[in-house]
């Protein structure tokens, strides 16, 4: 499967390269043909072909500064800690003098895209907090000598990263990693780990997929795990650093996402072409917005096969965590061990990937927490991505997140 995809990408490379190299000449106003209707249409077609390319390299976060009390504060990215599978990335603010702020570890999903998918999340949280993020590496770039990476290793990374950040930090998990985030805090609480986070925010995560199952949940139950391994797992071609590693390819996940809203994506590309072929200021702005979205959306990352298969099996098929059967290196995860970490669960009313109630289930699992340490929030009118990006995230959800973090300091 991966080899077939790579062969297709190689065959398309000369055409995409021709399109990219032709664009400067087609747009150069010093030539008489630049303003012709046919030239604009040809240039628009080249732009569409260029935008449709699937890439495998992490886009930049591009966060150069944040506004704080009317002043632009420079931001630099700092690799605080690196493993073969991830980088603990710190968005360091250049304060003078330094201003203490709550430390927050944002846990990005390992779901076929890079952590930059949470750019809007980070930009919103950054002015009020000292922000770190789990910057997961593309599995096809991780050598076989680095070993396996499954659900245990994912959870272990969170514990390790929190240890590096130090005591008093706050954990904020988005989507798929909510299970590992809850597991990590439960283990750290049980062990009385010095870096057990002060608060845990779980946003649109599949804690208990038995509740109001979505089409995604139902799909996971239609086949046995052997089918997923046989049909969706492939080997990385040997031309890449991770050659021979078994992965769930990012392009497969992208295909699945796009198939869920095929008509919307087809319409978006048609409109992108039309806006570039017959441009005015408003159409060009729309085209730029489309370009930025799809450049991010088409930047895919492969998932280690162990992590993908264990997630499907344990989270979506066996419901191991809510049934009290999830284990970490043979040790049963016990959310009731959490006693001093404030819990916030956030859901979107229209979430068709992780429906309402699935994240709320964490509140019942953390049975030892006192009522004043628990908060649940449902945002009306938003789907899955609206929980952590967009207008309502910034204006309505984030203030709740911020208040829980600051009260827990």
Q: What is the pLDDT of residues 164-192, one digit of tens each?
A: 999 999 999 999 999 999 999 999 999 99
Q: Are residues 204 and 323 in the same domain?
A: yes
pLDDT band at residue 395 using 50, 70 and 90 as cut-offs: very high
Q: Are residues 189 and 268 in the same domain?
A: no
pLDDT of amino acid 326: 98
Q: Report how far residue 283's alpha carbon sits from residue 47's, in angstroms, rounded to the nearest whole number.
A: 14
Q: Report how far residue 25's alpha carbon sits from residue 193's, in angstroms, rounded to the nearest whole number.
A: 61
Contact (Cβ atoms closer than 8 angstroms) between residue 397 and residue 346: yes
Contact (Cβ atoms closer than 8 angstroms) between residue 236 and residue 243: yes
Judge whether 234 lies within some domain.
no
- For residues 353-376, average pLDDT: 97
SS (H, E, C) the chain: CHHHHHHHHHHHHHHHHHHHHHHHHHHCCCCHHHHCHHHHHHHHHHHHHHHCCCECCCCCCCCCEEEECCEEEEEEEEEEEECCCEEEEEEEECCCCCCCCCEEEEECCCCCECHHHHHHHHHHHHHHCEEEEEEECCHHHCCHHHCCCCHHHHHHHHHHHHHHHCCCCEEEEECCCHHHHHHHHHHHHHCCCCCCCCEEEEECCCCCCCCCCCHHHHHHHHCCHHHHHHHHCEECCCCCCCCCCEEECHHHHHHHHHHHCHHHHHHHHHHHHHHHHCCCHHHHHHHHHHHHHHHHHCEECCEEHHHHHHHHHHHHHCCCCCCCCCEECCEECCHHHCCCCEEEEEEECCCCCCCCCCCCHHHHHCCCCCHHHEEEEEECCCCCHHHCCCHHHHHHHHHHHHHHHHHCC
Judge whether 232 lies within some domain.
no
Contact (Cβ atoms closer than 8 angstroms) between residue 117 and residue 58: no
Judge whether 240 lies within some domain.
no
Q: Report how far residue 401's alpha carbon sits from residue 276's, in angstroms, rounded to the nearest whole number.
A: 40
Phi, psi of 216, deg, nearest 5: -65, -45
CB-based contacts of 326-334 (< 8 A; 24+ apart in sequence): 326/179, 326/183, 328/152, 328/155, 328/156, 328/183, 328/187, 329/152, 331/187, 333/182, 333/183, 333/186, 333/187, 334/186, 334/190
Q: Are residues 106 and 147 in the same domain?
A: yes
Contact (Cβ atoms closer than 8 angstroms) between residue 377 and residue 402: no
Q: Report how far residue 20's alpha carbon sits from residue 14's, in angstroms, rounded to the nearest whole number.
A: 10
Q: Are residues 268 and 370 in the same domain?
A: no
**pTM here?**
0.92
Bridge partners of 323, per DSSP, are none
pLDDT tens figures, 308-349: 999 999 999 999 999 999 999 999 999 999 999 999 999 999
Q: Are residues 188 and 333 in the same domain?
A: yes
Judge whether 230 lies within some domain.
no
Judge whether 235 lies within some domain.
no
Who wins on pLDDT, 35 or 173?
A: 173
- Would you say residue 97 has pLDDT above 70? no
Q: Report how far residue 236's alpha carbon sits from residue 253's, in angstroms, rounded to the nearest whole number.
A: 15
- Cβ count near 58 (within 10 Å): 18
pLDDT band at residue 31 using 50, 70 and 90 as cut-offs: low
CATH number of the domain bearing residue 383: 3.40.50.1820
Could you list the residue range(s) of the whole structural domain that residue 36 is in?
2-53+250-297
Output the average pLDDT for the chain: 93
Judge whether 70 lies within some domain.
yes
Q: Report how far residue 227's alpha carbon sits from residue 99's, in angstroms, rounded to the nearest whole number.
A: 53
pLDDT tens figures, 180-238: 999 999 999 999 999 999 999 999 999 999 999 998 888 889 999 999 999 999 999 99
Q: Are residues 47 and 80 in the same domain?
A: no
Q: Report how far residue 346's alpha carbon sits from residue 388's, in angstroms, rounded to the nearest whole number.
A: 10
Q: Are residues 31 and 135 in the same domain?
A: no
The residues, any chain, with a CB within 8 Å of residue 36's CB and separated by 6 or more, are none
Judge whether 177 lies within some domain.
yes
Q: Are residues 109 and 21 in the same domain?
A: no
């Amino acid at each position: 499967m991966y080899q077939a995809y790579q062969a297709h990408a190689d065959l398309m490379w000369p055409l995409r390269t021709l399109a990219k190299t032709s664009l400067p000449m087609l747009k150069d106003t010093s030539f008489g043909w630049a303003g012709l209707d046919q030239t604009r249409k040809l240039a628009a077609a080249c732009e569409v072909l260029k935008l449709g390319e699937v890439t495998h390299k992490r886009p930049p976060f591009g966060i150069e500064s944040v506004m704080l009390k009317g002043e632009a504060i420079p931001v630099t990215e700092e690799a605080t800690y690196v493993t073969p599978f991830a980088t603990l990335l710190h968005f360091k603010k250049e304060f003078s003098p330094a201003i203490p702020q709550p430390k927050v570890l944002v846990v990005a999903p390992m779901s076929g895209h890079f952590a930059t998918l949470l750019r809007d999340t980070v930009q919103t949280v950054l002015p009020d907090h000292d922000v770190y993020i789990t910057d997961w590496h593309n599995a096809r770039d991780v050598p076989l000598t680095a070993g396996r990476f499954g659900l245990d290793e994912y959870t272990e990374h969170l514990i390790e990263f929190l240890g590096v950040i130090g005591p008093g930090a706050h954990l904020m998990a988005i989507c798929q990693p909510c299970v590992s985030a809850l597991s990590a805090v439960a283990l750290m609480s049980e062990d009385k780990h010095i870096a057990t986070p002060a608060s845990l925010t779980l946003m649109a995560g599949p804690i208990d997929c038995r509740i109001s199952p979505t089409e995604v949940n139902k799909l996971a139950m239609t086949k046995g795990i052997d089918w997923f391994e046989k049909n969706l797992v492939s080997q990385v071609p040997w031309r890449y650093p991770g050659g021979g590693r078994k992965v769930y390819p990012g392009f497969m996940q992208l295909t699945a996402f796009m198939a869920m809203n095929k008509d919307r994506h087809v319409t978006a590309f048609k409109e992108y072409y039309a806006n570039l072929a017959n441009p005015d200021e408003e159409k060009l702005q729309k085209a730029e917005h489309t370009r930025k979205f799809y450049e991010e959306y088409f930047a895919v990352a492969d998932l280690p096969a162990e992590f993908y298969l264990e997630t499907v099996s344990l989270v979506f098929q066996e419901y191991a965590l809510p049934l009290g059967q999830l284990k970490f290196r043979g040790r049963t995860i016990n959310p009731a061990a959490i006693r001093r970490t404030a819990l916030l669960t956030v859901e979107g009313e229209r979430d068709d990937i992780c429906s309402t109630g699935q994240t709320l289930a964490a509140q019942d699992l953390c049975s030892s927490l006192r009522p004043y340490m628990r908060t649940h929030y449902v945002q009306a009118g938003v789907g899955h991505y609206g929980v952590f990006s967009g207008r309502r995230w910034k204006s309505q959800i984030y203030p709740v997140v911020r208040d829980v973090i600051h009260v827990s300091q």
